[in-house]
């Protein structure tokens, strides 16, 4: 189910008041704990949330994320969390020959 930006912000405001994922979900009847956690992460890092189900990333944002992920050499989970992109939006790719012998992550542009 897609939630509007306003619905997401309503959930975030309630969570900031209650400091409880479960209580927020009980009062509103939505979202899942995972969705609320993601919205909170996005809100903390950007000061807002996107409407709809998935944000779109510009080629510049994807390139910056790939460069960060490649240089940081952190685990996939930690790297994706650091750049605030959902794990479902990444896929393994192989770098050009000569850059590295290990695969790295590219952020997938969503249509």
pTM of the model: 0.49
> Above pLDDT 70, what percent of the chain?
65
Identify the burial level of 65 via C-beta atoms within 10 angstroms of its C-beta, where 0-12 means exposed, 13-18 middle and 19 or more buried.
buried
What average pLDDT does the chain have? 76
Q: How confident is the model at residue 78, as a pLDDT?
A: 77
Q: In DSSP terms, which residues pair with 1 in a beta bridge?
A: none
On the question of pLDDT at 67 being above 50, the answer is: yes
């Amino acid at each position: 189910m897609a939630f509007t930006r306003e619905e997401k912000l309503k959930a975030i405001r309630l969570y900031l008041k209650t400091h409880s994922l479960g209580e927020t979900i009980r009062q509103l009847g939505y979202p899942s704990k995972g969705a609320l956690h993601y919205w909170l992460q996005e809100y903390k890092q950007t000061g807002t949330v996107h409407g709809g189900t998935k944000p779109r990333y510009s080629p510049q944002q994807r390139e910056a994320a790939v460069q960060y992920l490649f240089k940081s050499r952190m685990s996939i989970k930690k790297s994706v969390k650091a750049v605030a992109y959902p794990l479902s939006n990444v896929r393994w790719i192989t770098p050009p020959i000569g850059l590295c012998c290990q695969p790295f992550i590219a952020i997938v542009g969503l249509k």
